[in-house]
Amino acid sequence: MFKSAFIKRKNVYLLAFAIVLIISFIFNNYRYLFQPSNHLLNLSDSLKTDYRHDNPELDTDSIKETKNTRDKKEEQHNISPSESRSSLPDFKSKKNITLKKRAFFHFLSPYIAYENGLILKQREFIKEQSLLLETRDSLAQKDITLLKKYLVDYRCINSDLSNPETFKELLEHVDIIPQELALVQAALESSWGTSYFAKKANNLFGQWCFTPGCGIVPRARRNGDVHEVEKFKSIDLSVKSYMLFLNSHPAFDVLRKERAINRLHKEKPSALKMANGLIKYSAKGEAYIKDVKSMIRWNKKNLTEAINPDSQQDISIQKQDLLLNSN
């Protein structure tokens, strides 16, 4: 009898312990069990949409890249890519993952190079105006107007154009986004160009907008949320918006600092180092950074092949950079 009572008491304790474990598991995993898994951090202006991407994969095959047939002018970046195409190819039809990666990178690379070329022109103008101030008292009014526009567009804190620190801050914002970083983020956010929002909205980087009718209302949007997935008329506008976002939003100050350090040491802006500043790009935080870095490493060959070294994405360090950083 005593033994039977002991067994019953032991079973009760085990049952109670099991109940506690179940309650603890539900409590600790509430956000994953009962909230949409794709809900991302909202940074008040244009952050993200649903988080979709393919996990980085090893390129184990040795299939050679098929020859790209895009227009010769577009290859040379003499015109905006939007003038020749503004919709995505059917990447989903490519069943071989390596061929799909190569096709996606080669398609998008000219758009990124073109936008980086425009940014470099802005950067050269800013450096020229900074040097002019060293030789004369004031700048032309039209140049002042343009500089003030850049200060607003890139959300700079300083606004006094007579202060060299203003130009240093502006140059920290107005700079390229490495093609490797942009290509990998586009692959992650658009599932290699196959996601619904990529195909229906030309949205490759998961940007949000907050004006009713500005985009597509995501099905997983929670009650009370007002964001939409921004709709772009063309691919290049999506790329332009993404680059301005990284170059202007306060959430990516670390990303821009990493790039400025590269510039100071006469190095090319590093995609891997700049990725450290993406912690607020996704609700996944550090895990998102690891995903981006892993994809850059595993896709190094495909990325290198897709990036045209003869494009106008000239990221060489010029003497003016060092001069301005030394002041």
Lowest mean pLDDT among 111-115, 137-141, 203-207, 244-248: 137-141
User: What crossing angle do the helices spanning 164-173 and 141-153 adopt, rounded to 10°?
Assistant: 50
Q: Are 40 and 50 in contact (CB under 8 A)?
A: yes
Q: Are 153 and 243 in contact (CB under 8 A)?
A: no
Closest CA to 237 of 227, 248, 228, 245: 245
pLDDT tens-place string over residues 263-277: 999 999 999 999 999
Residue 196 scores a pLDDT above 60: yes
55: burial class by Cβ within 10 Å (0-12, 13-18, 19+)?
exposed
Lowest mean pLDDT among 4-8, 174-178, 180-184, 300-304: 4-8
Boundaries of every domain in the chain: 2-34, 72-326
Q: Which residues contact 227 (CB under 8 A, 6 or more apart)?
A: 42, 208, 209, 210, 218, 221
Task: Say which residue the tokens 């998961």 belong to.
Answer: 206
Average pLDDT, the chain: 77
Write out the two tokens for 226: 């007002």
The DSSP annotation for 81-96 comes to GGGT--S---GGG--S
Question: CA-based angle 199:67:119, to the nearest 5?
Answer: 60
Write out the two tokens for 201: 């909205």
pLDDT tens-place string over residues 156-170: 999 999 999 999 999
Closest CA to 311 of 81, 4, 55: 81
For residues 252 and 90, the model is more confident at: 252
H or E segment and range at residue 146: helix 141-153
318 φ/ψ sector (left φ>0, alpha ψ -120 to 50, else beta): beta
Look at residue 246 and give its three-state secondary structure: helix
Residue 129 scores a pLDDT above 90: yes
Distance between CA atoms of 87 and 83, rounded to whole angstroms? 11
Write out the two tokens for 298: 């595993």
Chain centroid to Cα 250, Å, comes to 14
Which pLDDT belongs to residue 187? 96
Question: CA-based angle 192:198:201, to the nearest 5?
Answer: 170
Distance between CA atoms of 249 and 155, rounded to whole angstroms? 7
